[in-house]
Amino acid sequence: MFENTATKKVIDISVGISSSTPVYPGDPVPDIKKVYCLPDDRASVSSISMGSHTGTHIDAPSHILEDGKSVDSLSLDTLIGNALVVDLSDVSETIKKSDLENIFNKLDAAENLDILLIKTQNSNLWNDFSTVGMESMISLDKSAGECIVENGFKTVGIDGFSVDVEPDLEVHRLLLENEINIIECLNFNGVSDGTYSFVCLPIKMEGCDGSPARAILINNP
């Protein structure tokens, strides 16, 4: 998958983390402070405080499921591989099963791919953090979650705070109970639909319910 990477374009689809990064309502706001600073100190060292679901991040099953795996127990090979990016930016409300089926038929590429990445209007919001709010985010309904399960995906990513539109988190529960990884707060600005190589790895935070991650696409020329 990564042969001759020098000739391929690497696309960073992560949301950066700073004190101004928007977070899910109620989550801790990131706080990054200098503890030691050059030139007065021998080296620069920072203190970082933030929630486990800050910026681009991976939800572990233990985020929702009482006996679910923690993020350090995830199978990393399900977070690396060929991914299908589907552009549903024209959908202005909750994404449904029919929306996914229509784009799958159009692209004719969903088979034999384990990773589904969903681009929506949310990506436009990451251009200006002041516009980002839960009320403006596009999410999935339960039928879309069922479609993802039926198509055998191992990982799903979206460019919003949550895959869920409902507060009971039924889409989270459906996906995680079926051992499907959830990646949230991706940024697909400038990314077209199609098939890419994909890497998104969490920090190895022992016993934690999620972790910030760096996500990239590799566009094969």
Per-residue pLDDT reduced to its tens digit, 114-144: 999 999 999 998 887 666 666 678 999 999 9
pLDDT at residue number 136: 72
- Residue 148 resides in a domain: yes
- Residue 105 resides in a domain: yes
Domain with 133 in it: 5-18+51-219
pLDDT above 90 (res 199):
yes
pLDDT at residue number 128: 76
- Residue 208 resides in a domain: yes
- Residue 10 resides in a domain: yes
In this structure, what CATH number is given to the domain that contains residue 110? Answer: 3.50.30.50
- Residue 29 resides in a domain: no
- Residue 23 resides in a domain: no
To the nearest whole percent, how much of the chain has pLDDT over 70? 92
- Residue 39 resides in a domain: no
Per-residue pLDDT reduced to its tens digit, 147-157: 999 999 999 99
Residue 100's contacts (CB-CB under 8 Å, 6 or more residues apart) are 86, 88, 144, 147, 148
Range in 2-6, 12-16, 61-65, 190-194 with the lowest mean pLDDT: 2-6
pLDDT above 60 (res 5):
no
- Report pTM: 0.93
> DSSP character for 186?
B
Number of domains in the chain: 1
Residue range 51-67: mean pLDDT, rounded: 97
* Greatest Cα-to-Cα distance within the chain, rounded to the nearest angstrom: 61
Q: For residue 60, what are its two tokens?
A: 């572990």
